[in-house]
Chains A and B, each alone.
Chain A
Amino acid sequence: MNGNREAAVRTDDVWKVFEHDGIAVEAVRGVSLEIRPGEFVVMAGPSGSGKTTLLNLLGGLTAPTSGRVWIDGQELTAMNERQRARLRLERVGFVFQAYNLLPVLTALENAEFSLLLRGVDADERRRSVSRLFERIGIGGLENRRPGKLSGGQQQRVAVARAVVGEPALVLADEPTANLDSAASIALLDVMTTLNREMGTTFVFATHDPRLMERAQRLIRLVDGAVEHDERRSPSPA
């Protein structure tokens, strides 16, 4: 997957400034990055360092105040709302800290949601999701609704939802923050396996040292700017 040589995501001098009571707060300051397909990237930094804001900028959930963002070679910042929604659907997967599954849908329906939006037929959706569920250890839970799943199981469903459409990148914001140690480790195992076997590009925003240990590339943010960007060999899963 991602056989082309375009960067999975690229930014060029991206700034994000919020106004709070007339005071300008620079949440992201002049970030230029290029993340290659298949990378397992962790963005770390203290609270307020701009990790989540940068993640939102990479996924097109927030528009930058200035600068440009490309996903899989397509310039996100030149698109209208409808085009951005389309790009998110086809090229980006999200994993959120609070799982954010739709409570009225079953695990399977949540996981297949992006395929449904893309118009993939029902049989193919079910096959893809069932295969993925088996692979990430939640086979048999397809018909349970989120309220009937543990936190770890819900987050795996969220990961399945993010990767099932084989996006150019998956953005994960503190995915282990609400999980206990065992569930966190199990989830990290799942994501490193998917990264290795499916070539899925992961970009994390996290404080979790266990996740940082596994990163192929660690980007440290301080006060909205990249302080340190290091490519390295991750610890074995």
Chain B
Amino acid sequence: MIRRLPLQLRLATRNVRRQTRRSILTASAMVLGVAVLVFSRALGDGAHEDWIAQGVRLGKGHIAIQHPHFQRSRHLDDRLTPEALALADAALADSAVAARVVAVAPRLEIQGLANSATGAVPVFIDGVDPTIEATFSRLGDRVVEGRYLEPGDRLHAFVGQRLAERLDLEVGGRLVLTGQDATGEIAGQFVRVVGVFRTGLPEADEGIIHIPLATAQEWLGVGGAVTTLAVLLESGWVVSETLHRLETLLAEDAGEVTVLGWREAMPELDAAIRIDDYGDYVFHVILFLIVGLAIVNTVLMSVLYRTREFGVLRALGLTRGETAGVVFAEGVLLTFISGVLGMVLGFVVTWVFFRNGLDYSGLLDNEFTFSGVVLEPVIVPTFRVVQVLQSLGSILIIGVLASLYPAYRATRIDVAEAMKFEA
């Protein structure tokens, strides 16, 4: 059988090439299926990248450098001391890391209460560097009143719209923040509202306050310490390698500093993406099944239609296995061609019509939030080499599996009966 492999491939190639109409009909379902697959994967990956980008900016960056216990305790005792910060800065200066880093935002985060004459609301209070944070979390882009914090601000606060409404605050209004300081005592800090933001995310709009980092450090008595260095990278695809590099660099200082990827630092977002991924997988499996059934159907129909032809091959001296080989090669060849064409079609359609993003804002009345992330109503598709190879590999596997049954059927043809067969 192996000796005649070139002959079988040649016959299969001829059949595919010279039976143009049949090949086109057979391939069209597969081309369409693969194109939809490429399109949906590009959009899915694009959406996830956007979620991650949005999530890490509002949250703790792609990578968070913290005291090993802070993630669990959220206590000021577990802060990064100036010595630990120096170690972290040295690791971030490593050339392999620095090349990937876009911004590093120092934050001093505590849980406390925001009090006004109207009432008190539990909040997350973040002491931030206004200059860095303006480009990191981009809360400044969501100002509805007033302005974001600026260098030189001291007793100022930037608050969410829902919080402002609950505490009956306007720009210029006063509130008192209370929280546990470094000594464990409850301490208060008077601040004045400098601006109000709206993200559309209820927990952010009601629960986050930004104040200048220096103000927070002084109020809480932590000197130059922070609780988190939030690291923003050039893209979500380089997190693993950068995280691994930082872990290696800081391995000896694991008692004072730990490095968390966004999946660990923001487990809710990680879970949301995994759930969405699972949905995508189910969709893709269904799509693959449809494509697989299309291949089985069309290749099997082709076998049944050409019963006499395969009977002739057998009569002329091909064995059952060799005849099956012709059918199998045809199926795989058609799948491969359809797979490549489908991918090209998928890329072209995605690129031509959606390279600037799929805008679904018309379908939404308000912001769409998911797992602590305000989603942009525009999904920009993303293409990756690994995605292309996975799609092609999957289609080929489907093609191989789906061609097995028609090939088996070809081996069951009774030669004498096949000669009586009228297509």
List of A residues within 8 angstroms of B7 by Cβ = 116-117
The distance in angstroms between the C-alpha atoms of A104 and B311, with both chains bound, is 15
The distance in angstroms between the C-alpha atoms of A104 and B13, with both chains bound, is 10
* B319 at interface by CB-CB < 8 Å: yes
Docked complex: A37-84 residues within 8 A CB-CB of B: 52-53, 56, 59, 61-62, 81-82
Q: Tell which of B14-22, B133-141, B198-206, B213-221 binds the partner.
A: B14-22
Residue from B18, B308, B318 within 8 A of A100 (CB atoms): B308
A113 touches B316 (CB 8 A): yes
Q: How large is the interface on B (under 10, 10 to 19, 20 to 34, 35 or more residues)?
A: 20 to 34
* A102 at interface by CB-CB < 8 Å: yes
* A114 at interface by CB-CB < 8 Å: yes
* A89 at interface by CB-CB < 8 Å: yes
Quick one: given A96-B419, A98-B308, A117-B7, are A59 and B15 in contact (CB under 8 Å)? no
The distance in angstroms between the C-alpha atoms of A152 and B11, with both chains bound, is 25
Chain A residue at minimum C-beta to C-beta distance from B421: A98
List of B residues within 8 angstroms of A125 by Cβ = none
Residue from B14, B319, B419 within 8 A of A81 (CB atoms): B319
Residue from A52, A53, A85 within 8 A of B314 (CB atoms): A85
Residue from B14, B17, B317 within 8 A of A88 (CB atoms): B317
* A105 at interface by CB-CB < 8 Å: yes
List of B residues within 8 angstroms of A89 by Cβ = 316-317
B317 touches A56 (CB 8 A): no
Q: Shortest beta-carbon distance, B299 to chain A, in Å? A: 16
List of B residues within 8 angstroms of A113 by Cβ = 316
B18 touches A104 (CB 8 A): yes
Q: Shortest beta-carbon distance, B172 to chain A, in Å? A: 84
Q: Shortest beta-carbon distance, A99 to chain B, in Å? A: 10
The distance in angstroms between the C-alpha atoms of A86 and B321, with both chains bound, is 13
List of A residues within 8 angstroms of B18 by Cβ = 103-104, 145
Q: Shortest beta-carbon distance, B174 to chain A, in Å? A: 87
Q: Shortest beta-carbon distance, A28 to chain B, in Å? A: 12
Interface centre among B14, B317, B320, by most A CB within 10 Å? B317
* A94 at interface by CB-CB < 8 Å: yes
B14 touches A105 (CB 8 A): yes
Residue from B312, B314, B320 within 8 A of A102 (CB atoms): B312
B415 touches A117 (CB 8 A): no
List of A residues within 8 angstroms of B415 by Cβ = 56, 61-62
Quick one: given A117-B7, A117-B317, are A56 and B308 in contact (CB under 8 Å)? no
A117 touches B308 (CB 8 A): no
The distance in angstroms between the C-alpha atoms of A110 and B379, with both chains bound, is 55
The distance in angstroms between the C-alpha atoms of A103 and B320, with both chains bound, is 20
Residue from A82, A100, A102 within 8 A of B419 (CB atoms): A100
The 8 A CB mask of A98-123 against B (1 = contact, 0 = none) is 10101111000000011011010000
A85 touches B319 (CB 8 A): yes
The distance in angstroms between the C-alpha atoms of A194 and B33, with both chains bound, is 54
The distance in angstroms between the C-alpha atoms of A52 and B416, with both chains bound, is 9
List of B residues within 8 angstroms of A56 by Cβ = 415-416
B319 touches A103 (CB 8 A): no
A114 touches B316 (CB 8 A): yes
Q: Shortest beta-carbon distance, A63 to chain B, in Å? A: 10
Chain B residue at minimum C-beta to C-beta distance from A85: B319
Residue from B14, B308, B315, B319 within 8 A of A94 (CB atoms): B315
Q: How many residues of A contact B (CB 8 A)?
A: 29
Quick one: given A98-B308, A104-B15, are A61 and B316 in contact (CB under 8 Å)? no
Quick one: given A61-B416, A117-B4, A117-B7, are A103 and B309 in contact (CB under 8 Å)? yes
List of A residues within 8 angstroms of B309 by Cβ = 100, 102-103
The distance in angstroms between the C-alpha atoms of A81 and B319, with both chains bound, is 7
Q: Shortest beta-carbon distance, B384 to chain A, in Å? A: 39
The 8 A CB mask of B62-96 against A (1 = contact, 0 = none) is 00000000000000000000000000000000000
Interface centre among A100, A103, A119, by most B CB within 10 Å? A100
List of B residues within 8 angstroms of A85 by Cβ = 314, 317-319
List of B residues within 8 angstroms of A161 by Cβ = 316
The distance in angstroms between the C-alpha atoms of A113 and B308, with both chains bound, is 16
A59 touches B315 (CB 8 A): yes
Q: Shortest beta-carbon distance, B242 to chain A, in Å? A: 55
The distance in angstroms between the C-alpha atoms of A216 and B11, with both chains bound, is 39
B317 touches A86 (CB 8 A): yes
Q: Shortest beta-carbon distance, A161 to chain B, in Å? A: 8
Quick one: given A100-B419, A103-B309, A104-B19, are A114 and B317 in contact (CB under 8 Å)? yes
Docked complex: B311-345 residues within 8 A CB-CB of A: 311-320
List of A residues within 8 angstroms of B314 by Cβ = 61, 85
List of B residues within 8 angstroms of A104 by Cβ = 11, 14-15, 17-19
Q: Shortest beta-carbon distance, B7 to chain A, in Å? A: 6
The distance in angstroms between the C-alpha atoms of A89 and B317, with both chains bound, is 4
B15 touches A94 (CB 8 A): no
The distance in angstroms between the C-alpha atoms of A96 and B315, with both chains bound, is 11
Q: Shortest beta-carbon distance, B418 to chain A, in Å? A: 9
Q: Shortest beta-carbon distance, A95 to chain B, in Å? A: 11
Known: A53-B416, A85-B318, A114-B316. 10 other contacts (CB 8 A): A56-B416, A61-B314, A61-B415, A85-B319, A88-B316, A100-B309, A102-B312, A103-B19, A105-B14, A114-B317
A-B contact pairs, 28 of them (CB 8 A): A56-B415, A61-B315, A61-B416, A62-B415, A62-B416, A81-B320, A85-B314, A88-B316, A89-B316, A90-B317, A94-B315, A96-B312, A98-B308, A98-B419, A100-B308, A100-B311, A100-B312, A100-B419, A102-B312, A103-B18, A103-B19, A104-B15, A104-B18, A105-B14, A117-B316, A117-B317, A119-B3, A145-B18
Leading 4 A-B pairs by shortest Cβ distance: A89-B317, A104-B18, A104-B14, A56-B416
